[in-house]
Chain A
Amino acid sequence: MPDVKRFSHGSRVPGWDEKVDLSKDPQEIPDPATTPVPAELRAEIEHHIAKYPDRRSAAIPALAAAQELHGWCSPEAFVQVACVMRLTPAYLIAVASFYDMLDTTPAGHKRVYVCTNISCSLRGGRKLLGELQDAVGDDPDVQVRGFECLGACDIAPMASINGIFVGPIESGEVAELAQQVRDGADPLPAKQLLKRPSADPHANSKAYETAGTDFATTEAEIDRPAPGGSPLPAEPSSFGTPMGHEDPEDTP
């Protein structure tokens, strides 16, 4: 039975016995005049805000950007994001603590997620996690953690190295991978997911490799409109007038 870790006051909840300070003001939106925000971070957050009708929607991308900059969602990061987004830091802390990819405690900025879900576990995912943690050792820049299904069960056992999916990882490759992670090098280039062809034998006829087929049309043969021109050739008459362009006199 696993040990339940408890604080000295006997609870698993930190600070539960602390008294509420009723003299404290509710948390406020940080003052832009006194909160320095790096210009790049501000620009990125504002770019995200512009994508949505409601600025709060940008909370997750903005926190991800701040985490990228600070290494984790530090109190400073929360204040900076809150300042740009005109929200309280508390709101953002509540959001960040919900999501696995946002670290609210100090953690290495090189993120290695090893999938430990069913399909990977069936093929040695949990063993891989242990081996990789041992191989990386106590590097404060690197976090190696088990993660829920990463959606790459076809390359099980697999890991995500800063977003790059790699697998299947053999035991013999763990030391090499750990070194690449520490060095910030391209992880196991031959085993990266993006280079993997489809498993379905019916999907590809490889016709695109044969000259003289439809697929083998060369770049020069593509009928492409001139730059700045209409994106597509004139519309064929059989489809009628596009919506909104009907001649009002035609309608009965």
Chain B
Amino acid sequence: MSTQQPLIFSEIDEPGLNTIDVYRRRGGYGERLRKALTMPPEALVEELKASGLRGRGGAGFSMGMKASFMPKGTMDKYLVCNADESEPGTFKDRELMQKIPHLLIEGMIIAAYAAGANRAFIFIRGEYVQQADILDAALVEAYDAGLLGENILGTSFGLSLAVHRGAGAYICGEETGLLDSLEGKRGNPRLKPPFPANQGLYQGPTLINNVETLATVPLIVEMGGAEYAKIGAEGSTGTKLISISGNVQRPGNYEIELGMSSRDIIYGLAGGPDEGREIKLWFPGGSSSPVLTADDLDLPYDFNTLAKAGSMLGSGAIIVVDDTNSVVDVCLWLAEFYRHESCGKCTPCREGTNWTVKMLERIQSGLATPMDLDIMASVQEQIIGNCLCVLGDAMAMPVGSMVAKFRDEFEAHIEAARAANELVPGDEPAPELALLQGAVA
């Protein structure tokens, strides 16, 4: 197991760490912030590029590159922190904002300076009421200390920062859906390009980053980009907060060095499934990532390895499903979520998620034929890549991977459930069943 000490979660449970006093005593808002604000913004962006920091929200895009796309000039620019953590299985940002909110605020000050933004928003999901209250209190402290507002630390740089609470919609975690929601509209994703770096919030250049990404920025400034890049694996530098949940004995957030073995994470840190059970499948990066099986447990946990294995690191949320669960149930729960959360703007996603749920319900209740599996797989293919955002893909990829990897189990379930529906002589057939039998005959 790696010897890397936690960076973000270091002494995370210290009492009062959510207050500015304790945070400052630990070096927060200190020399590293002063150092960042006296560097030229371009040098800061270079430092971020050198660190190799990849976005922690799901897409894994280089943070430094993203910041460098911001145009130069004196127009209104914005920084938005994506704290709409809705990916099923993900809860790392929640703990971060709740326990060390000032690290996020400090990261946002530095990132806004690097991007040339003078206005910033934290878009937090509406369900996180307590965390938003903590952030609001932290903002007041930061304003009172002169760390936000005009002339931060005596420089000419000023930043206004506000917390914006959402009201419950998964799609608002998609960056352009988030921007529409922040503008007070329905959270429908926009066509890209133009990308937010050119036309984002209020049509101004906008840098959008995840909570964990922004919270890592002060640590990179302190260590230096090159030093940070020494942690982790090639192409996946640094430490990562991962959320482990599902059938494990010790669910929770852990900070790991990227490149750690998946087995060490699931069995070593989280204790694996309960005694006597085996892992059937696991999602390596939230419910949107294609599933992996027990055979893949020795893969190093980093962006590139998981991508090569046909899945993705995503938001770093591992969901473990053990062998007492039916893959049909898991697949249906998953598809129901995406059907509910599809915003309805693009037809392949709106209809595809709906029909996938309907077909899975037929499979579950024994009204399906094995042919339905092929139809369902073809629906998934027609969703992928055909919508403005990746919500539909986020259902299609895991459903497709489950059908591909557990086809035997799906077929066995179809047969077993159909046999269970067979008529006892004398009973009236259920109307749906009679319809189906009529169609088959």
Contacts and interface: CB of A to CB of B under 8 A. Distances in A.
A154 B202 CA distance: 37
Given A200-B252, A203-B13, A149 B89 contact: yes
A122 B11 contact: no
A118 B162 contact: no
A152 B183 contact: no
Interface in A139-165: 147-156, 160, 162-165
Interface in A200-252: 200-205, 207-208, 214-215, 217, 219, 222, 224, 230-232, 235-236, 239-245
Contacts of B89: 117-119, 149, 153
Contacts of A243: 37-38, 40, 155-157
Given A53-B202, A57-B184, A64-B167, A198 B9 contact: yes
Interface in B78-136: 85-91, 93-95, 98-99, 119, 125-130
Name A's interface SS: loop
Contacts of B184: 54-60, 95
Given A200-B255, A204-B12, A217-B25, A242 B154 contact: yes
Given A99-B169, A200-B9, A242 B156 contact: yes
B69 interface: no
Nearest to B254: A200
Interface in A91-120: 94-95, 98-102, 113, 116-119
A208 B269 CA distance: 23
Contacts of B321: 118, 122
Interface size class of A (residues with CB under 8 A): 35 or more
Interface stretch (B216-224, B225-233, B297-305, B359-367): B359-367
Interface string A160-186: 101111000000000000000000000
A108 B438 CA distance: 45
A63 B167 contact: yes
A199 B13 contact: no
Interface of A: 1-2, 51-61, 63-64, 94-95, 98-102, 113, 116-119, 121-123, 147-156, 160, 162-165, 193-194, 197-205, 207-208, 214-215, 217, 219, 222, 224, 230-232, 235-236, 239-245
Given A63-B167, A149-B90, 5 more contacts: A117-B337, A152-B91, A200-B12, A200-B269, A230-B154
Closest CB pairs A-B (n = 5): A199-B252, A244-B156, A163-B129, A153-B245, A100-B168
